[in-house]
Amino acid sequence: MGSIPLAVWWLILAVVLGIIEASSFNLITIWFSIGAVAAMISSLFGVPFIYQVVIFIMMSALLLYFTKPLIKKFLNVRKEKTNADRIIGEKGIVVEKIDPVNGTGQVKIGGQIWTARSTNDEVIDLNELVEIQEILGVKVFVKKL
């Protein structure tokens, strides 16, 4: 790989993967970063490049397989629950015409205004009564009553 030693390339890979992990917190690239460090160490001992690649792949795969479930369990990484799903099944009133073609629509549910779409892509007029069927992100999906 030119005049730059392989150990430096492995170090660069480890740092880049570490930065990706730090920005995402998905507990995926950290294992590959550690695998790159292991490959870097092996290159410092003069291990042939093909074996460095094998060390990188094996170390990354083993760490991913054996430690990720443990780390997730101890860090309790999970989706944050909200109480927004409590409005599913509630009634609301259309305060802006629900029009799937134009991507518009709002409903008022319990004093709060939500962006709304109809579950069957029908147009629902202003002041119609609707029932909340589903929540995806900040949108409610409703059906006309």
- Residue-wise pLDDT for 30-55, tens only, equals 889 999 999 999 999 999 999 999 99
Q: What is the pLDDT of residues 103-113, one digit of tens each?
A: 899 999 988 99
Checking if the pLDDT of 95 tops 60, the result is yes
Pairing of strands 112-118, 139-144: parallel
Task: Could you list the beta-strand ranges (E) of the chain.
Answer: 91-99, 104-109, 112-118, 129-136, 139-144
Domain boundaries defined on the chain: 6-75, 88-144
C-alpha 144 chain-centroid distance: 32
3-state helix, strand, coil in the chain (%, to 5): 45, 25, 30
Cα angle at 25 between 22 and 31, to 5 degrees? 80
The answer to whether the beta carbons of residues 107 and 129 sit under 8 Å apart is no
Residue 116 contacts by C-beta under 8 Å, 6 or more apart in sequence?
92, 94, 98, 105, 106, 107, 130, 139, 140, 141, 142
Residue from 112, 120, 127 nearest 143 by CA: 120
- 127 phi, psi to nearest 5 deg: 70, 10
Any idea which fold 88-144 has?
OB fold (Dihydrolipoamide Acetyltransferase, E2P) (2.40.50)
Whether the per-residue pLDDT at 80 is higher than 60: the answer is no
Query: What pTM, to 2 d.p., does this model score?
Result: 0.49
